[in-house]
């Protein structure tokens, strides 16, 4: 059994901070459970372009409001507490928080914590045993 708190993760190497968002990685690939779990805050007024070409991501919004646009279809959806979006087709998307938006994200395959978004918003596929691979 693994029990963790966000306080234990804050300001450690599992707490990734950028100008647009902050992601606290609660469960990572090293746990060997087949997924990773993150608490991510997207900051109000930012524009975030992502494309998880190597991962499936589910995102549950539990605080704040914003919108997500499917960059392939142009469809835009409003996000608020209780919303969930699933990027089941490796969807290219843009998230625009109107207020700080706190979310819980689940990735499959799990991230290691060493991934960095490339110029397309993609995380490379990294396993615990190797270095990041390019797409």
* pTM of the predicted structure, to 2 decimals: 0.85
Over residues 59-111, the pLDDT tens digits come to 999 999 999 999 999 999 999 999 999 999 999 999 999 999 999 999 999 98
Which residues make Cβ contacts (< 8 Å) with residue 26, sequence separation at least 6? 4, 6, 9, 14, 37, 38, 39
Whole-Å CA distances, 7 to 91, 99, 111: 32, 23, 20
**Average pLDDT of the residues in 21-49:** 96
What is the CB neighbour count within 10 angstroms for residue 55?
A: 20
């Amino acid at each position: 059994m693994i029990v963790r708190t966000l306080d234990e993760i804050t300001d450690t190497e599992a707490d990734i901070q950028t100008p647009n968002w902050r992601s606290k990685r609660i469960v990572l690939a090293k746990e060997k459970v087949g997924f990773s779990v993150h608490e991510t805050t997207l900051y109000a007024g930012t524009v975030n372009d992502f494309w998880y070409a190597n991962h499936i991501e589910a995102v549950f919004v539990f605080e704040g409001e914003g919108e997500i646009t499917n960059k392939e279809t142009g469809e835009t959806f409003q996000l608020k507490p209780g919303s969930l979006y699933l990027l089941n087709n490796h969807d290219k998307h843009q998230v625009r928080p109107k207020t700080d938006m706190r979310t819980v994200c689940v990735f499959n395959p799990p991230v290691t914590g060493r991934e960095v978004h490339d110029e397309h918003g993609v995380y490379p596929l990294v396993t615990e045993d190797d270095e990041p691979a390019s797409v």
